[in-house]
Structure 1
Amino acid sequence: MDALYASSGEITMPLMHGIGDRVNKPGMLGRHFWGALGPKRRAFAVISPKLCAIRRTGNAPMGTSDERQCGDCTLCCKVMAIEALAKPVGRWCTHCKPGRGCAIYAGRPAECEAFTCLWLADGLLDQRWKPSRSKLVVTTSEDGVEIRCDPGSPNAWRREPYAAEIRAWAEEGERNDMTVVVIIGQRMILVTPEHEFDLGIIGPDERIVRELDGTKVVGATVVRATELDATSDVGGARSTG
């Protein structure tokens, strides 16, 4: 699908191939883990609903494309957790003035300064995807695509044109072993070409396990990391972290 690969100026956006820098330390996306649970079963990291930085190249300013600015959009200040400020997901940051901006912008936390959503970073997503309009903040990690939905509009991702595009990403992702996850507050939904696996609220000590038939995802469950570790120790599964 051509829309999954695009570039604008100095920022390259191969959407399904991990342009988001996954920083494995507290305050970012957490521990990345790969393991296995028997035949055709494979685990991937829980994608914590926290800030995810976009990798940039060249001298392009972080946080903008050549033409785009946040403007009246402040939705990331609601849907993301900000560890430095002890701000949970789904609530407005106390320093945010919705529709106007950040009251401490000059001294904002490093995780906020590093953050850029896909709409802002590149022209890949058109104006309909601007978060203040779509109610969706799209980022990536090395696992795939993450669509964070405004908890005040929990079905925004089901509207068009967003639903069709998300499904197309899921089709491409299944062919390339990438995931598409919709995050609403702390609730996570794994989207595949044929199914939506509503996994509920996933804790930091839990992992999502996909059951695969070839490249097709036929099931998804949530297990405790300790269970996965025990299985890995027995079966010699590989993990990184």
Structure 2
Amino acid sequence: MTLITNTKQEKIVNYGSLQHSMQVEKSRDRRTMKCLVVLQICAAVVTMLLISTFYLTMYPSNKGKKHTPSTNPIQKDNIATLYAIHPTRHSFCFRDGKNGGIIINWAVYNRCNDLDFNNYYAGNFTVGVGGGRAGTIIDLGSRDDLQKKYQYQETVGHGQGYASIHRTNKTLLILKDSYQNHTFQAMGESAALFRDTSSSFSVRVILGHVYALRIIDTYKHKSERVVKMLVLAYQPNESVTIQWKILK
């Protein structure tokens, strides 16, 4: 009897010890889960604070930059190639930077012919063609010619003169002295460019020369487009590549 009783007691003690161990383990698991949940909540709160701080500090700065004009804007390089024998690309439209001609219903039509290459006069640029159009184009000479005439300081690449050409009303302006001084002088070619005209005008294409052109539409009151351009590449009777910019 004593042996049996001891055995039962031992079983009861052992069973009680296992139950206690399981309860302790479950309690630890619950504490671990609580800790993990708390850590996740803390991580989420910290993340939200960081995001809020970023938008509060960075967004107003970026927003302000969008509305603040740059003192030194990067200008877009408008480069186009005209082909003498191409049905639509022998002419060019400065308004949208596309071909002057268009093919519709198996026929070629004039869409917007601001500048023609080689078709009216071989080896020439021609402006002021098409219904109601009139224009003037002036060869301003090479970049070296401009530098010698207007006595401004050039830099490597000889691009300061072309880059500086702009207009104020009916006057073309070009760099004066050093580009670092940001001062300009009137160009003598202004009077010829802005004179009254009612016809087309043509001038010879020369590699490396700078041109100024003005186009008006006699059908539209006060319609005018003034452009400067530089001949970058030229193959006689084949193609010409120009860099251009509308002067407003």
TM-score, length-scaled by structure 1: 0.22
* Structure with the bigger percentage of strand: 2
Q: Which has the higher contact order (CA 8 A, sep 6+)?
A: 1
Q: Which has the larger radius of gyration?
A: 2
TM-score, length-scaled by structure 2: 0.22
* Structure with the bigger percentage of helix: 2
